[in-house]
Chains A and B, each alone.
Chain A
Amino acid sequence: MNKTVNQKAWFLVLPVFLLVAFSAVIPLMTVINYSVQDTFGNNVFSWVGLDWFDEIIHSQRMHESLARQSLLTTIILLIEVPLGIFIALNMPKKGFWASFNLVVISLPLLIPWNVVGTIWQIFGRKDIGLLGHTLSILGIDYNYAQDVLSAWITIVIMDVWHWTSLIVLLCYAGLQSIPDAYYQAAKIDQASRWSVFRYIELPKMSGVLMIAILLRFMDSFMIYSEPFVLTGGGPGNSTTFLSIDLVNMALGQFDLGPASAYSLMYFLVVLLVSWVFFTVMTNLDKKGAA
């Protein structure tokens, strides 16, 4: 087929281009601008090249935050993905209880991050929180403000509580799209429950599951409000994840240059991991199809 060449068509792209420029490119340029300059105030800037990047790459502080962040994201994914699939598999497929469960399951997703942090902050307190108080009555030493392990467990449970629903909803949608004939055929073939999951349900929901994992990876890697409200990054630096660390640097210490370099690298890491993840998953899919 012959394509018509019409350069005027570029004008049709212009509105989108402007929109993206103002929403993404220009703010990003500011950050890039800061990341290669130094200032002592009064709007006087001096060029420092890649010095800030060099500093951040070799800073132990970033390494530690990155390690904490990676650990948290790994734990969260390892819990939320299987749990989400498990819940989705066991939800009723139709009728009143299906709708009821969907509403209940979606509720945590509607709560703003700050509020989730606050809820768990109060819930876990020894003096007035139901969880904290109950645990202390039972004689369990639980104090998220002073004990590293308690803080981590609380953050993980909080995130699982807040976000497993997302995976449940996506997997549930994937499961709903499987025609009944598949289950009937599997029954006739005398397939075990595990086989039904392995050969019918999992392949059919792999597409949505991939999106779910990707979303959960990105979101958890950028987690900020919830742990900030709950622990403020403590005790010590034990729950200072990348975002918290970055905000401390940019707004707490007002080190705009290093913070800009930090955020650019942070952005690239998220982008890179997402890209690798996406490519690997789609290639696996294609290989499966070939």
Chain B
Amino acid sequence: MAQIKLENLAHSYISKPTSKSDYALQKMNLTFEDGAAYALLGPSGCGKTTLLNIISGILIPSEGKIYFGDKDVTSLDALGRNIAQVFQFPVVYDTMSVRKNLAFPLQNRGADPQYIKKRVEIIAKSIGMEDMLDTKASGLSADAKQKISLGRGMVREDVNAILLDEPLTVIDPHVKWQLRTQLKALHEEFSHTMIFVTHDQTEALTFADKVVVMDDGIVVQVGSPQELFERPTHTFVGYFIGSPGMNFFDVDIIEDIISMGDVKLKLHSIFPDLKGRVELGIRPEFITLSKDSGDIKIEIIRIEDIGYHKIVRAIHDNIKINIVVPEDVKIDNNMKFASFDRDHIFIYQDGWLVEPKEAKR
């Protein structure tokens, strides 16, 4: 086991990339700590699978280096890097029994039969298949097969990392939840470094200690689920994480005064002069509704009651706003004003979070 470090890594599928858009992965520096569970989160085509394949050694990056611990593994293949990978679709050896499937990676490495037997039983128990060990793999359901794939990834104790490429795509929703929990338990039990690729934020946030959010070949933020929610460093993270995502407004800012159309808001902190596109971001959870006064005037369009809270869809000055209201708060259509919690307002310049010059308070 070892720390995985990406140094000035970039990848292009074109042999002589000229512009930025030729790159599937923009230059990045990233470290995966040993033993932690990571999720690579992003929309389809953002480069997360490319990044995973580079870490696993299926792809050789066009630029930069990869280190496992102190060892440069850039030119080593999957075997040389000693990693395990679970793919999007179950890969099982159809003609073998479940037991042989699980034992296969160990057998090929010439492990002691006693050890294999013990290890296979431990893994089978973890994935909940101990009573199916002697059934043939070919007739099993997709989720059972995917469990075998997971088990095969987990069976070697000495792997440097376990890489999972959207492994729950083919699984039924109710089993998905169960498998995710199992995966989390497996991580806690064996504490392998795990990197989990997904486009599903729930999956990422429930599974991972740290989430790497990617968009368009760029790593936009690395952080714990809580950090991503509370302090998105990029507008993409703001609207991709959370449901509904962050609200954004185009604004101008002078010191601590924000102008948003005709509306002026005073902030707690002073900002430097900003050029380019300046946006104010606030999560729907930190906006409150009221009848007679508030920061901005709004008009409620629709109220969605989803049980544990309500989502209010409203507009202000032709801009859509989402507001999350706790279950016990009454809403009526006379509520024409909304207020922003000053502590949860963030300012972004060309997509990236801007730190205030000084907090005044």
Which A residues form the contact surface with B (CB < 8 A)? Answer: 179, 181-182, 184-185, 187-192, 195, 199-200, 203-204, 288-290
The verdict on A182 contacting B91 (CB below 8 Å), with A188-B84, A188-B105 known, is: yes
Q: Which of B92-100, B187-195, B201-209 contacts A (4 or more CB under 8 A)?
A: B92-100
Q: How far is the CA of A185 from the CA of B77 in the complex (A)?
A: 12
User: Is the C-beta of B108 less than 8 angstroms from some C-beta in chain A?
Assistant: yes
Q: How far is the CA of A184 from the CA of B89 in the complex (A)?
A: 12
Which B residues form the contact surface with A (CB < 8 A)? Answer: 56, 58, 77-79, 83-85, 87-89, 91, 93-96, 104-105, 108-109, 136, 138-139, 149, 152
Q: How far is the CB of B79 from chain A (nearest CB, A)?
A: 6
Q: Is the CB of B85 within 8 A of A203?
A: no
18 A-B residue pairings within 8 Å (CB atoms)? A179-B91, A184-B87, A185-B149, A188-B56, A188-B78, A188-B84, A189-B104, A189-B105, A189-B152, A199-B94, A200-B93, A203-B93, A203-B94, A203-B138, A289-B136, A289-B138, A289-B139, A290-B136
Q: How far is the CB of B155 from chain A (nearest CB, A)?
A: 9
Q: Is the CB of A190 within 8 A of B79?
A: yes
Q: How far is the CA of A288 from the CA of B152 in the complex (A)?
A: 21
Q: How far is the CA of A190 from the CA of B84 in the complex (A)?
A: 11
Q: Is the CB of B95 within 8 A of A185?
A: no
Which residues on B sit within 8 Å (CB–CB) of A200?
93
Q: How far is the CB of A182 from chain B (nearest CB, A)?
A: 5
Which residues on A sit within 8 Å (CB–CB) of B79?
187-188, 190
Which residues on A sit within 8 Å (CB–CB) of B88?
181
Q: Is the CB of B89 within 8 A of A185?
A: no
Q: Is the CB of B93 within 8 A of A199?
A: yes
Q: Is the CB of B58 within 8 A of A184?
A: yes
Q: Is the CB of A181 within 8 A of B87?
A: yes
Q: How far is the CA of A269 from the CA of B12 in the complex (A)?
A: 61
Q: Is the CB of B95 within 8 A of A188?
A: no
Q: How far is the CA of A56 from the CA of B78 in the complex (A)?
A: 65
Out of B83, B87, B139, name the residue touching A290 (CB < 8 Å).
Answer: B139
Which residues on B sit within 8 Å (CB–CB) of A195?
108
Out of B87, B94, B108, name the residue touching A190 (CB < 8 Å).
Answer: B108
Q: Is the CB of A288 within 8 A of B77?
A: no
Which of B84, B91, B104, B109 has its CB near the most chain A CB atoms (within 10 A)?
B91
Residue of B nearest to A190 (CB): B108
Which residues on A sit within 8 Å (CB–CB) of B104?
189, 191
Q: How far is the CA of A203 from the CA of B58 in the complex (A)?
A: 24
Which residues on B sit within 8 Å (CB–CB) of A203?
93-95, 138
Out of A190, A204, A288, name the residue touching B105 (CB < 8 Å).
Answer: A190
Residue of B nearest to A184 (CB): B58
Q: Is the CB of B91 within 8 A of A288?
A: no
The verdict on A184 contacting B85 (CB below 8 Å), with A190-B79, A203-B94, A288-B136 known, is: yes
The verdict on A288 contacting B87 (CB below 8 Å), with A184-B58, A187-B78, A190-B108 known, is: no
The verdict on A188 contacting B96 (CB below 8 Å), with A179-B89, A290-B139 known, is: no
Q: Is the CB of A184 within 8 A of B78?
A: yes
Q: Is the CB of A185 within 8 A of B136?
A: no
Q: How far is the CA of A195 from the CA of B58 in the complex (A)?
A: 20
Q: How far is the CA of A182 from the CA of B139 in the complex (A)?
A: 18
Q: How far is the CA of A268 from the CA of B189 in the complex (A)?
A: 64
Which residues on B sit within 8 Å (CB–CB) of A192?
108
Q: How far is the CA of A289 from the CA of B139 in the complex (A)?
A: 5
Q: Is the CB of B138 within 8 A of A288?
A: yes
Extra 4 A-B pairs, beta carbons < 8 Å, given A191-B104, A203-B94: A185-B85, A288-B94, A289-B139, A290-B139
Q: How far is the CB of A107 from chain B (nearest CB, A)?
A: 34
The verdict on A199 contacting B78 (CB below 8 Å), with A288-B136, A290-B139 known, is: no
Q: How far is the CA of A17 from the CA of B305 in the complex (A)?
A: 63
The verdict on A185 contacting B91 (CB below 8 Å), with A190-B79, A288-B136, A289-B138 known, is: yes
Out of A181, A188, A204, name the residue touching B89 (CB < 8 Å).
Answer: A181
Q: How far is the CB of B89 from chain A (nearest CB, A)?
A: 6
Q: How far is the CB of A210 from chain B (nearest CB, A)?
A: 15
Q: How far is the CA of A188 from the CA of B149 in the complex (A)?
A: 12
Which residues on A sit within 8 Å (CB–CB) of B108?
189-192, 195
Which residues on A sit within 8 Å (CB–CB) of B152?
185, 189
Q: How far is the CB of B160 from chain A (nearest CB, A)?
A: 12
Q: How far is the CB of B54 from chain A (nearest CB, A)?
A: 13
Q: How far is the CA of A287 from the CA of B125 in the complex (A)?
A: 26
Residue of A nearest to B105 (CB): A189
Which residues on A sit within 8 Å (CB–CB) of B94?
199, 203-204, 288
Which residues on A sit within 8 Å (CB–CB) of B89?
179, 181
Residue of A nearest to B77 (CB): A187
Q: How far is the CB of B60 from chain A (nearest CB, A)?
A: 14
Q: Which 5 A-B pairs have the closest CB atoms?
A: A181-B87, A190-B108, A185-B91, A189-B105, A199-B93
Residue of A nearest to B82 (CB): A188
Q: How far is the CA of A123 from the CA of B306 in the complex (A)?
A: 82
Which residues on A sit within 8 Å (CB–CB) of B109?
190
Residue of B nearest to A183 (CB): B91
Q: How far is the CB of A211 from chain B (nearest CB, A)?
A: 19
Q: How far is the CA of A239 from the CA of B230 in the complex (A)?
A: 86
Q: How far is the CB of A18 from chain B (nearest CB, A)?
A: 43
Q: How far is the CB of B83 from chain A (nearest CB, A)?
A: 7
